[in-house]
Protein backbone atom coordinates (compact mmCIF):
# COMPACT_ATOMS: atom_id res chain seq x y z
CA UNK A 1 0.00 0.00 0.00
CA UNK A 2 2.77 2.28 1.07
CA UNK A 3 4.69 1.51 -2.10
CA UNK A 4 1.64 2.18 -4.22
CA UNK A 5 1.28 5.59 -2.60
CA UNK A 6 4.94 6.33 -3.17
CA UNK A 7 4.64 5.43 -6.88
CA UNK A 8 1.70 7.78 -7.33
CA UNK A 9 3.57 10.46 -5.41
CA UNK A 10 6.57 10.06 -7.73
CA UNK A 11 4.38 10.45 -10.83
CA UNK A 12 2.53 13.43 -9.35
CA UNK A 13 5.74 15.15 -8.28
CA UNK A 14 7.23 14.63 -11.74
CA UNK A 15 4.16 16.18 -13.39
CA UNK A 16 4.25 19.05 -10.90
CA UNK A 17 7.92 19.69 -11.56
CA UNK A 18 7.16 19.62 -15.29
CA UNK A 19 4.47 22.23 -14.65
CA UNK A 20 6.96 24.40 -12.79
CA UNK A 21 9.35 24.16 -15.72
CA UNK A 22 6.55 25.33 -18.03
CA UNK A 23 5.74 28.24 -15.73
CA UNK A 24 9.38 29.25 -15.81
CA UNK A 25 9.08 29.58 -19.59
CA UNK A 26 5.73 31.43 -19.38
CA UNK A 27 3.72 28.53 -20.73
CA UNK A 28 0.39 27.52 -19.25
CA UNK A 29 0.76 24.08 -17.66
CA UNK A 30 -2.99 23.50 -17.37
CA UNK A 31 -3.47 24.17 -21.05
CA UNK A 32 -0.45 22.03 -21.91
CA UNK A 33 -1.50 19.00 -19.84
CA UNK A 34 -5.06 19.54 -21.07
CA UNK A 35 -3.89 19.37 -24.67
CA UNK A 36 -1.80 16.31 -23.83
CA UNK A 37 -4.83 14.51 -22.38
CA UNK A 38 -7.03 15.67 -25.24
CA UNK A 39 -4.57 14.29 -27.75
CA UNK A 40 -4.01 11.02 -25.91
CA UNK A 41 -7.57 10.18 -24.88
CA UNK A 42 -9.86 12.69 -26.61
CA UNK A 43 -10.78 10.59 -29.62
CA UNK A 44 -11.05 6.97 -30.69
CA UNK A 45 -7.97 7.36 -32.86
CA UNK A 46 -6.02 9.10 -30.11
CA UNK A 47 -6.95 6.53 -27.48
CA UNK A 48 -6.11 3.66 -29.81
CA UNK A 49 -2.75 5.23 -30.54
CA UNK A 50 -2.08 5.56 -26.80
CA UNK A 51 -2.60 1.81 -26.50
CA UNK A 52 -0.31 1.31 -29.49
CA UNK A 53 2.41 3.28 -27.69
CA UNK A 54 1.69 1.45 -24.44
CA UNK A 55 2.16 -2.03 -25.93
CA UNK A 56 5.96 -2.14 -26.40
CA UNK A 57 6.47 -0.21 -23.15
CA UNK A 58 4.36 -2.76 -21.34
CA UNK A 59 6.21 -5.77 -22.74
CA UNK A 60 9.71 -4.35 -22.24
CA UNK A 61 8.65 -2.99 -18.84
CA UNK A 62 7.62 -6.51 -17.81
CA UNK A 63 11.01 -7.73 -18.98
CA UNK A 64 12.93 -5.20 -16.92
CA UNK A 65 10.63 -5.82 -13.94
CA UNK A 66 11.16 -9.59 -13.95
CA UNK A 67 14.92 -9.04 -14.03
CA UNK A 68 14.60 -6.65 -11.09
CA UNK A 69 12.68 -9.27 -9.17
CA UNK A 70 15.61 -11.63 -9.70
CA UNK A 71 18.00 -8.97 -8.44
CA UNK A 72 19.27 -8.20 -11.94
CA UNK A 73 19.46 -4.83 -13.65
CA UNK A 74 18.71 -5.41 -17.31
CA UNK A 75 19.64 -2.24 -19.17
CA UNK A 76 19.69 -4.18 -22.42
CA UNK A 77 15.96 -4.32 -23.15
CA UNK A 78 16.44 -2.02 -26.14
CA UNK A 79 19.06 -4.31 -27.68
CA UNK A 80 16.95 -7.40 -26.96
CA UNK A 81 13.99 -5.67 -28.59
CA UNK A 82 16.05 -4.94 -31.71
CA UNK A 83 17.36 -8.51 -31.94
CA UNK A 84 13.85 -9.90 -31.46
CA UNK A 85 12.39 -7.56 -34.07
CA UNK A 86 15.08 -8.35 -36.62
CA UNK A 87 14.77 -12.11 -36.25
CA UNK A 88 10.99 -11.89 -36.34
CA UNK A 89 11.10 -9.80 -39.53
CA UNK A 90 13.55 -12.09 -41.29
CA UNK A 91 11.59 -15.17 -40.29
CA UNK A 92 8.28 -13.55 -41.28
CA UNK A 93 9.60 -12.64 -44.71
CA UNK A 94 11.14 -16.03 -45.25
CA UNK A 95 8.26 -18.42 -44.42
CA UNK A 96 4.77 -18.46 -45.86
CA UNK A 97 2.34 -20.33 -43.64
CA UNK A 98 -1.31 -19.92 -42.72
CA UNK A 99 -1.82 -16.89 -40.50
CA UNK A 100 -2.74 -18.92 -37.44
CA UNK A 101 0.58 -20.72 -37.59
CA UNK A 102 2.79 -17.96 -38.90
CA UNK A 103 1.98 -15.22 -36.39
CA UNK A 104 2.58 -17.35 -33.27
CA UNK A 105 5.78 -18.66 -34.86
CA UNK A 106 6.99 -15.12 -35.58
CA UNK A 107 6.31 -14.18 -31.97
CA UNK A 108 8.12 -17.29 -30.79
CA UNK A 109 11.15 -16.50 -32.94
CA UNK A 110 11.27 -12.90 -31.65
CA UNK A 111 10.95 -14.00 -28.02
CA UNK A 112 13.55 -16.74 -28.45
CA UNK A 113 16.01 -14.34 -30.11
CA UNK A 114 15.59 -11.65 -27.43
CA UNK A 115 15.81 -14.31 -24.74
CA UNK A 116 19.01 -15.81 -26.10
CA UNK A 117 20.55 -12.37 -26.48
CA UNK A 118 19.84 -11.55 -22.83
CA UNK A 119 20.86 -15.04 -21.69
CA UNK A 120 24.41 -14.22 -22.83
CA UNK A 121 24.56 -11.53 -20.15
CA UNK A 122 22.93 -13.93 -17.65
CA UNK A 123 25.49 -16.61 -18.39
CA UNK A 124 28.40 -14.19 -18.07
CA UNK A 125 27.03 -13.11 -14.72
CA UNK A 126 26.43 -16.64 -13.45
CA UNK A 127 29.69 -18.10 -14.78
CA UNK A 128 32.18 -15.25 -14.27
CA UNK A 129 30.36 -12.81 -12.03
CA UNK A 130 30.41 -10.15 -14.76
CA UNK A 131 28.03 -7.32 -13.93
CA UNK A 132 24.92 -7.62 -16.09
CA UNK A 133 24.65 -3.83 -16.08
CA UNK A 134 27.88 -3.55 -18.06
CA UNK A 135 27.35 -6.56 -20.31
CA UNK A 136 23.80 -5.63 -21.29
CA UNK A 137 24.95 -2.12 -22.24
CA UNK A 138 27.70 -3.60 -24.38
CA UNK A 139 25.32 -6.11 -25.92
CA UNK A 140 23.08 -3.14 -26.82
CA UNK A 141 25.83 -1.66 -28.98
CA UNK A 142 26.51 -4.98 -30.62
CA UNK A 143 22.79 -5.35 -31.36
CA UNK A 144 22.33 -1.83 -32.76
CA UNK A 145 25.44 -1.81 -34.91
CA UNK A 146 25.04 -5.44 -35.94
CA UNK A 147 21.44 -4.84 -37.02
CA UNK A 148 22.44 -1.70 -38.89
CA UNK A 149 25.09 -3.61 -40.76
CA UNK A 150 22.79 -6.48 -41.61
CA UNK A 151 19.99 -4.30 -42.96
CA UNK A 152 22.34 -2.20 -45.04
CA UNK A 153 24.09 -5.29 -46.37
CA UNK A 154 23.28 -8.97 -46.29
CA UNK A 155 19.66 -8.71 -45.18
CA UNK A 156 18.65 -5.66 -47.14
CA UNK A 157 15.40 -6.01 -49.05
CA UNK A 158 14.95 -5.14 -52.72
CA UNK A 159 14.23 -1.59 -51.67
CA UNK A 160 16.95 1.06 -51.70
CA UNK A 161 16.31 1.90 -48.03
CA UNK A 162 18.29 0.05 -45.35
CA UNK A 163 15.52 -2.27 -44.26
CA UNK A 164 14.57 -5.91 -44.55
CA UNK A 165 12.12 -7.26 -47.11
CA UNK A 166 8.46 -7.00 -46.03
CA UNK A 167 7.03 -9.92 -44.07
CA UNK A 168 4.60 -12.19 -45.85
CA UNK A 169 0.95 -11.05 -45.75
CA UNK A 170 0.01 -13.98 -43.55
CA UNK A 171 2.33 -12.63 -40.82
CA UNK A 172 0.69 -9.22 -40.65
CA UNK A 173 -1.30 -8.35 -37.53
CA UNK A 174 -4.27 -6.32 -38.76
CA UNK A 175 -5.86 -3.45 -36.82
CA UNK A 176 -8.70 -4.38 -34.49
CA UNK A 177 -10.41 -1.03 -35.10
CA UNK A 178 -10.35 0.32 -38.61
CA UNK A 179 -8.70 3.68 -39.00
CA UNK A 180 -6.33 2.98 -36.12
CA UNK A 181 -3.08 1.04 -35.68
CA UNK A 182 -4.34 -0.88 -32.65
CA UNK A 183 -3.77 -4.63 -33.09
CA UNK A 184 -4.21 -7.76 -31.00
CA UNK A 185 -0.71 -7.08 -29.64
CA UNK A 186 -2.17 -4.85 -26.93
CA UNK A 187 -4.53 -7.42 -25.38
CA UNK A 188 -1.75 -9.98 -25.74
CA UNK A 189 0.57 -7.75 -23.72
CA UNK A 190 -2.09 -7.42 -21.03
CA UNK A 191 -2.40 -11.19 -20.90
CA UNK A 192 1.39 -11.44 -20.65
CA UNK A 193 1.33 -9.12 -17.61
CA UNK A 194 -1.35 -11.17 -15.86
CA UNK A 195 0.46 -14.40 -16.71
CA UNK A 196 3.74 -13.06 -15.40
CA UNK A 197 2.11 -11.90 -12.15
CA UNK A 198 0.65 -15.36 -11.67
CA UNK A 199 3.89 -17.09 -12.62
CA UNK A 200 5.99 -15.09 -10.17
CA UNK A 201 3.57 -15.59 -7.33
CA UNK A 202 2.36 -19.10 -7.79
CA UNK A 203 4.95 -21.24 -9.55
CA UNK A 204 7.99 -22.87 -8.06
CA UNK A 205 10.22 -21.30 -10.73
CA UNK A 206 8.82 -17.86 -9.92
CA UNK A 207 9.26 -18.46 -6.21
CA UNK A 208 12.88 -19.45 -6.73
CA UNK A 209 13.50 -16.45 -8.97
CA UNK A 210 12.19 -14.11 -6.27
CA UNK A 211 14.22 -15.92 -3.61
CA UNK A 212 17.39 -15.45 -5.65
CA UNK A 213 16.52 -11.78 -6.11
CA UNK A 214 15.89 -11.16 -2.42
CA UNK A 215 18.81 -13.14 -1.08
CA UNK A 216 21.08 -15.13 -3.33
CA UNK A 217 22.71 -16.68 -0.30
CA UNK A 218 19.50 -17.85 1.35
CA UNK A 219 18.36 -19.25 -2.00
CA UNK A 220 21.56 -21.28 -2.25
CA UNK A 221 20.97 -22.66 1.25
CA UNK A 222 17.46 -23.62 0.13
CA UNK A 223 18.94 -25.84 -2.56
CA UNK A 224 18.29 -23.47 -5.46
CA UNK A 225 20.82 -23.78 -8.25
CA UNK A 226 21.54 -20.06 -8.42
CA UNK A 227 23.54 -19.88 -11.67
CA UNK A 228 20.90 -21.45 -13.93
CA UNK A 229 18.21 -19.44 -12.13
CA UNK A 230 19.99 -16.23 -13.10
CA UNK A 231 20.36 -17.32 -16.72
CA UNK A 232 16.67 -18.26 -16.84
CA UNK A 233 15.61 -14.92 -15.36
CA UNK A 234 17.65 -12.97 -17.90
CA UNK A 235 16.31 -15.14 -20.72
CA UNK A 236 12.72 -14.49 -19.63
CA UNK A 237 13.44 -10.78 -19.36
CA UNK A 238 14.96 -10.69 -22.84
CA UNK A 239 12.15 -12.81 -24.29
CA UNK A 240 9.61 -10.22 -23.20
CA UNK A 241 11.68 -7.45 -24.80
CA UNK A 242 12.05 -9.57 -27.96
CA UNK A 243 8.30 -10.03 -28.01
CA UNK A 244 7.91 -6.25 -27.93
CA UNK A 245 10.12 -6.09 -31.03
CA UNK A 246 7.96 -8.70 -32.78
CA UNK A 247 4.76 -6.75 -32.11
CA UNK A 248 6.25 -3.65 -33.71
CA UNK A 249 7.26 -5.61 -36.81
CA UNK A 250 4.09 -7.65 -37.20
CA UNK A 251 1.63 -4.92 -36.29
CA UNK A 252 3.14 -1.63 -37.43
CA UNK A 253 6.16 -1.66 -39.71
CA UNK A 254 5.82 -5.10 -41.37
CA UNK A 255 9.56 -5.10 -41.80
CA UNK A 256 12.65 -4.24 -39.78
CA UNK A 257 14.56 -1.00 -39.95
CA UNK A 258 16.81 0.81 -37.51
CA UNK A 259 14.16 3.42 -36.66
CA UNK A 260 11.86 0.74 -35.30
CA UNK A 261 12.09 1.81 -31.67
CA UNK A 262 12.33 5.36 -30.34
CA UNK A 263 13.93 3.91 -27.19
CA UNK A 264 11.13 1.82 -25.70
CA UNK A 265 13.73 -0.41 -24.08
CA UNK A 266 15.24 2.51 -22.20
CA UNK A 267 11.94 4.05 -21.18
CA UNK A 268 10.96 0.61 -19.90
CA UNK A 269 13.46 1.00 -17.06
CA UNK A 270 11.43 3.97 -15.83
CA UNK A 271 8.24 1.97 -16.41
CA UNK A 272 9.47 -0.89 -14.22
CA UNK A 273 10.86 1.43 -11.54
CA UNK A 274 7.63 3.37 -11.26
CA UNK A 275 5.70 0.09 -11.03
CA UNK A 276 8.05 -1.10 -8.32
CA UNK A 277 8.57 -4.20 -10.50
CA UNK A 278 5.05 -5.47 -9.98
CA UNK A 279 3.71 -6.91 -13.27
CA UNK A 280 0.23 -5.52 -12.72
CA UNK A 281 1.73 -2.19 -11.74
CA UNK A 282 3.64 -2.22 -15.03
CA UNK A 283 0.29 -2.13 -16.86
CA UNK A 284 -0.56 1.15 -15.15
CA UNK A 285 2.84 2.73 -15.47
CA UNK A 286 3.26 1.66 -19.12
CA UNK A 287 -0.11 3.25 -19.85
CA UNK A 288 1.03 6.43 -18.08
CA UNK A 289 4.17 6.64 -20.21
CA UNK A 290 2.29 5.66 -23.37
CA UNK A 291 -0.15 8.45 -22.69
CA UNK A 292 2.62 10.98 -22.16
CA UNK A 293 4.41 9.96 -25.34
CA UNK A 294 1.31 9.93 -27.46
CA UNK A 295 -0.05 13.21 -26.11
CA UNK A 296 3.26 15.00 -26.44
CA UNK A 297 2.84 15.96 -30.10
CA UNK A 298 -0.65 17.28 -29.45
CA UNK A 299 0.70 19.31 -26.57
CA UNK A 300 3.37 20.79 -28.82
CA UNK A 301 0.89 21.60 -31.57
CA UNK A 302 -1.92 23.08 -29.48
CA UNK A 303 -0.20 24.49 -26.37
CA UNK A 304 3.16 25.39 -27.86
CA UNK A 305 5.10 23.39 -25.27
CA UNK A 306 7.93 21.40 -26.86
CA UNK A 307 7.25 17.66 -26.82
CA UNK A 308 10.65 17.09 -25.24
CA UNK A 309 9.12 18.22 -21.97
CA UNK A 310 7.70 14.69 -21.78
CA UNK A 311 11.24 13.30 -21.69
CA UNK A 312 11.95 15.67 -18.81
CA UNK A 313 8.91 14.33 -16.94
CA UNK A 314 10.05 10.77 -17.64
CA UNK A 315 13.47 11.51 -16.22
CA UNK A 316 11.92 13.10 -13.16
CA UNK A 317 9.79 10.01 -12.59
CA UNK A 318 12.98 7.93 -12.34
CA UNK A 319 14.48 10.45 -9.94
CA UNK A 320 11.47 10.56 -7.65
CA UNK A 321 10.91 6.79 -7.76
CA UNK A 322 14.52 6.19 -6.78
CA UNK A 323 14.27 8.76 -3.99
CA UNK A 324 11.16 7.01 -2.67
CA UNK A 325 12.99 3.67 -2.62
CA UNK A 326 15.92 5.18 -0.75
CA UNK A 327 13.57 6.67 1.81
CA UNK A 328 11.84 3.40 2.52
CA UNK A 329 15.20 1.60 2.78
CA UNK A 330 16.39 4.17 5.30
CA UNK A 331 13.20 3.92 7.30
CA UNK A 332 13.82 0.21 7.57
CA UNK A 333 17.39 0.73 8.76
CA UNK A 334 16.11 3.05 11.47
CA UNK A 335 13.58 0.50 12.69
CA UNK A 336 16.34 -2.10 12.87
CA UNK A 337 18.18 -0.22 15.63
CA UNK A 338 14.86 0.33 17.36
CA UNK A 339 13.15 -1.95 19.80
CA UNK A 340 15.08 -5.22 19.36
CA UNK A 341 12.84 -6.21 16.54
CA UNK A 342 9.90 -6.09 18.93
CA UNK A 343 8.14 -9.03 20.51
CA UNK A 344 6.04 -9.59 17.48
CA UNK A 345 6.12 -7.35 14.48
CA UNK A 346 8.43 -4.42 14.27
CA UNK A 347 6.72 -1.05 14.43
CA UNK A 348 6.56 0.82 11.21
Partner 1 sequence: MRAADGPVVLAACGVSKRFGALVANEAVDFDVRAGEVHALIGENGAGKSTLMSLLYGLMHPDSGTIAVDGRAVRFSSCVDAMKAGIGMVFQHFLLVERFSVAQNVMLGREPGRRGMLDRRSSEKEVARLATGYGFALNPATPVEDLGVGARQQVELLKVLERNARVLILDEPTAALSPQEASALFDIVHRLRSEGRAVILIAHKLKEVLSVADRITVLRRGKVVGSVEPEQADEAQLGLMMVGRSIDLDKRVPRIGAPADVALRITSLDVPASSGAGLHGFSLQARAGEIVGIAGVEGNGQIELAEALYGLREPTAGAIALEGRDITSMSCANRRRLGVRYVPPDRQREGLVLDFSTEENALLGDQRRLRRGSVIPAKTMRRRADAIAREYALAGYSPSVKARDYSGGNQQRLIVGRELSEGAALLLVCAPTRGLDVGAAAVIRERLRAARDAGACILLVSYDLDELRALADRIIVLCGGVATGELTPENADDATLGMLMGGIAA
Query: Interface residues with partner 1 (CB under 8 A)?
Result: 202-205, 207-208, 210-211, 214-215, 217-225, 332, 337-348
Closest CB 336 distance from partner 1, rounded Å: 9
Q: Distance (Å, rounded) from C-alpha 253 to C-alpha 192?
A: 22
Task: Provide, rounded to whole angstroms, the least separation between the CB of residue 244 and partner 1.
Answer: 25
Q: How far is the CB of 3 from partner 1 (least distance, A)?
A: 12
C-beta of 187 vs 341, nearer to partner 1: 341
User: Distance between CA atoms of 58 and 193, rounded to whole angstroms?
Assistant: 8
Of the pair 24, 337, the CB lying nearest partner 1 is at 337
CB of 341 to partner 1, least distance (A): 4
Shortest Å distance, C-beta 328 to partner 1: 12
The Cα 53–Cα 293 span in angstroms is 7
Element (H, E) at 162: none
Q: Calculate the alpha carbon distances from 58 to 65, 108, 125, 315 in Å.
A: 10, 18, 26, 18
| C-beta of 8 vs 221, nearer to partner 1 | 221
Nearer to partner 1, 6 or 294 (CB): 6
Closer residue to partner 1 (CB): 163 or 208: 208
**Sign (positive/negative) of CA torsion 166, 184, 237, 284?**
positive
**Which residue, 219 or 317, is less far from partner 1 as judged by CB?**
219
**Spatial separation of the C-alpha atoms in residues 267 and 58, rounded to whole Å:** 10
DSSP conformational letter for 339: S
Q: How far is the CB of 233 from partner 1 (least distance, A)?
A: 16
CB 172, min distance to partner 1, A: 34
Backbone angles phi, psi at 223, to 5 degrees: 80, 10
Return the number of the residue (154 or 339) whose C-beta is nearest partner 1.
Answer: 339
Nearer to partner 1 (CB atom), residue 259 or residue 348:
348
At its nearest, how many Å lie between partner 1 and the CB of residue 203? 5
Angle in degrees, CA 306, 308, 313, rounded to 5: 115
CA distance 183 to 15: 30
- The answer to whether the beta carbons of residues 136 and 71 sit under 8 Å apart is no
Quote the distance between the C-alpha of residue 12 and its chain's center. 21
Chain Cα centroid distance, residue 278: 12
- Measure CA of the first residue to CA of the last residue in the chain; give whole Å: 13
Task: Compute how many other C-beta atoms are within 10 angstroms of the C-beta atom of residue 127.
Answer: 11
Amino acid sequence: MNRLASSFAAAALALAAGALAMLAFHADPIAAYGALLQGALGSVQGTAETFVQTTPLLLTGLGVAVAFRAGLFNIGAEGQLVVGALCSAVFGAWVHLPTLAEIPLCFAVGAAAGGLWAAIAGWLRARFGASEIITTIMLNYIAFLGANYLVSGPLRGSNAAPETAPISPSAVLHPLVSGTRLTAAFPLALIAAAALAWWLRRTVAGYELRAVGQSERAARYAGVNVGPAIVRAMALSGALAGLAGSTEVLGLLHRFNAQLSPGYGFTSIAVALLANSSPLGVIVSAFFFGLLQNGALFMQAYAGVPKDLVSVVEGLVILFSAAGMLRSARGRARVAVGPEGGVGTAPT
